[in-house]
Amino acid sequence: MIQVRGLTKRYGGVLAVDGLDFDVEPGKVTGFLGPNGAGKSTTMRMMLGLDRPTSGTALIKGRPFGAFAEPLREVGALLDPVAVHSGRSGRNHLRVAARTNGIPPRRVEQVIEQVGLGGAARRRIRTYSLGMRQRLGIAAALLGDPGVVLFDEPINGLDVDGVLWIRALLRRLADEGRTVLVSSHLMSEMQQTADRLVVIGRGRLIADTTTGELIRGLGQRRVRVRTSEPESFLAALERHGLAAARIGAGELQVQDATAAAVGNLAHASRIPLHHLSEVEQSLEDAYLGLTGASVEYGAGAAEPAHATTGSSS
Amino acid sequence: MTVQPTVPVLAAPAERISTARLLARTGTAEWVRLWTVRTPWWFLAAAAVFMVGLGALLGLEAAADPVSLQGEPAWQTAQSLAVPAQFALIALALTAVTSDYATGGIVPTLQWTPRRPVLYAARVLTAVGAAAGLGILLALASAAAAFATAGSALVLPLDGGLEMAATTAFVFATGAGLAVGLGFLLRNTAAALVSVFLLLLLLPVVLPLLGYDWLATAADLLPGTGMLQLLLGGVGYQGVTEASAVMTLLAWSAGALLLGWLRFRSGR
């Protein structure tokens, strides 16, 4: 369990993180989303004691990170996969980490195999691809078999096989009851992986909810129709207060409507339809709606509270 | 690719660990960290080749001119060679600190050991200990090489050896402490190395030559003057006693380590 309460970080006149409140629960994959500069990395760094909060707290299992006697055995984190000495071998990098927390050497070999670096562990890290460095960072995070894991953009640089692997790994870690917080800018990936989402913008909490609720709650329902009389149907839609636009020859997209309502209207207007379907909402749509609003209103403006359904927000 | 099971494989983490045990763990990790990259080995090789190689050559020179050097202790040869050779070991200690900033490795380092006083102490003790310990070993090897090639021209008295070892260890330790402190303060290898070179060698030699009494007095307060006094026996530094040299080196080393700690404590 991670508890963030009133977490604030100010760099001179810049408010990087502004009174964040949220929980990250065990047994779930929690996605941490926000535009560039939203304060995600700063928040994660404060969770790990790398930056001091201006005010507020970020507690892991009820304690600040620095209070753990053996932190690697409580919290595993991957922040920046290239932030390692590239002249050291992957195995020696992990050996150093293991020594600091009294972890037996056999565990180093286990995590090397677990992340699929068995054939490269003796090589210097400078010969690793970005994806291999990601795997090494994940190996270090898993080294102490921790109950809490934090991954900052773990999919960067991974090939398809690697993406599938980390997707399964995150799910398995959560299913084992661990607390999993993962930041990513890949909405499609988060939609497939995350159970909950914490969305921030300009350092402020925008949404703390399940992935499904976020998509359903913020994505506008849209309906796509194809007809031989697009102009007539556009006029009919406008008369009934529905916004629509032409998106192709004979094809319209109707905003904030259901397929049933649009179908009934076509029937009542005696306009033949060749196609009628609801457009599936995506997390990307919802995310852009949320963060776009955040930028539009700026820091200090009212937040879209209807999206915030989590217990802590 | 399959995902391996990640069921618990380790015993439960300890709730509390004594500071001494934590320091020992971190110190061991720092030792592994130091010697698992190539750079320290290059510095060590450079210092070894210089001290042992030149020690042997100076021994040969003594053998060729047995009259003027007859009965001189080989320890003195080693101490003289330690003046330039110390910079290789000081650089070794310095890069133990600055490489973590250059590579970004300080981020995982602080994740693994978030207790900064422990990490600082372990890193300082490891780097300074390595420089001092290797300094003693290389000085002994250098003296032995000089003695071996000098025939009967040089001597190797035991009591002089102990004094040489103690002096070399102190000078290397304080020089490394100065470098490590500056490394933590400046977080940059080149800047810290240039500063150390100025303070330990260039300024103590150059300032007295400029003809101003106050500059000569200022030079007496520099760590390099103390170092030269202790290793070379006060050549050109009549105003500096052995005791004042010791105090000067201690003060500079402790001051640099204090400043380094204040910077390290305040942020990553």
Q: Are strands A196-201 and A29-33 parallel, antiparallel or unpaired?
A: parallel
Tell me the nearest-neighbour CA distance from A57 into chain B, angstroms: 16
Q: Which residues of chain A does B113 touch, with a Cβ-Cβ cutoff of 8 Å? A: 71, 100
Distance of CA B215 to the CA centre of its chain: 27
Q: Is B236's pLDDT higher than 60?
A: no
Mean pLDDT for chain B overall: 91
A95 touches chain B (CB under 8 A): yes
**pLDDT tens, A139-159?**
999 999 999 999 999 988 888
* Nearest CA distance, A35 vs chain B (angstrom): 23
Residue in B closest to A96 by C-alpha: B29
Question: Is the Cβ pair A88, B14 closer than 8 Å?
Answer: no
Domains and CATH numbers, chain A: 2-74+146-216+286-307 (3.40.50.300), 220-279 (3.30.70.100)
**B115 contacts in chain A (CB < 8 Å):** 66
Burial class (CB in 10 A: 0-12, 13-18, 19+), A260: exposed
What are the pLDDT digits (tens) for B202-217?
999 999 899 898 998 8
- B225's enclosing H/E stretch is helix B223-232
> For residue A309, is pLDDT > 50?
no
Structural domain boundaries in chain B? 20-266
In what helix (H) or strand (E) does residue A210 lie, and over which residues does it extend?
strand A204-210
Chain B residues with CB-CB distance to A162 below 8 A: 1
Q: With CB atoms and an 8 Å threshold, state whether B13 touches A68.
A: yes
Residue of A nearest to B102 (CA): A85
Could you tell me if A303 and A18 are in contact, meaning their C-beta atoms sit under 8 angstroms apart? no
Tell me if ipTM is over 0.95: no
Best to test chain B binding among A68, A85, A122, A134 (most B CBs inside 10 Å): A85
Q: Which of B122, B49, B46, B58 is nearest to B89 (CA)?
A: B46
Strand locations in A12-162 (E): 14-24, 29-33, 55-60, 75-78, 148-152
Tens of pLDDT, residue by residue over A246-287, are 888 889 999 888 889 999 999 999 999 999 988 776 666 767
Contact check, Cβ <8 Å, A116/B103 = no
- With a CB cutoff of 8 Å and minimum separation 6, the contacts of B24 are none
CA distance A277 to chain B (A): 38
What token pair was written down for B189?
A: 């290898």
In the stretch 58-77 of chain A, residues with CB closer than 8 A to chain B read 65-66, 68-74, 77
pLDDT tens-digit readout, B110-140:
999 999 999 999 999 999 999 999 999 999 9
Would you say residue B5 has pLDDT above 80?
A: no
Helices (H), chain A: 40-47, 90-100, 105-114, 130-142, 160-175, 187-193, 211-218, 230-239, 259-268, 283-297
Q: Do A144 and B13 touch (CB under 8 A)?
A: yes
Each residue of B92-115: pLDDT tens digit? Answer: 999 999 999 999 999 999 999 999
How far separated are the first and last CA of chain A, in Å rounded? 16
Residue A5 and residue A57: Cα distance in Å, rounded? 5
CA distance A249 to chain B (A): 45
Distance from CA of B126 to the nearest CA of A (A): 14
Contact B171, B252 (CB under 8 A): no
Contacts of B1 in chain A (CB under 8 A): 116, 161-162, 164-165
Distance (Å) of CA A40 to CA A18, A179, A272 = 11, 17, 50
Nearest to A143 by CA among A110, A184, A177: A110
Q: DSSP letter at A310?
A: S
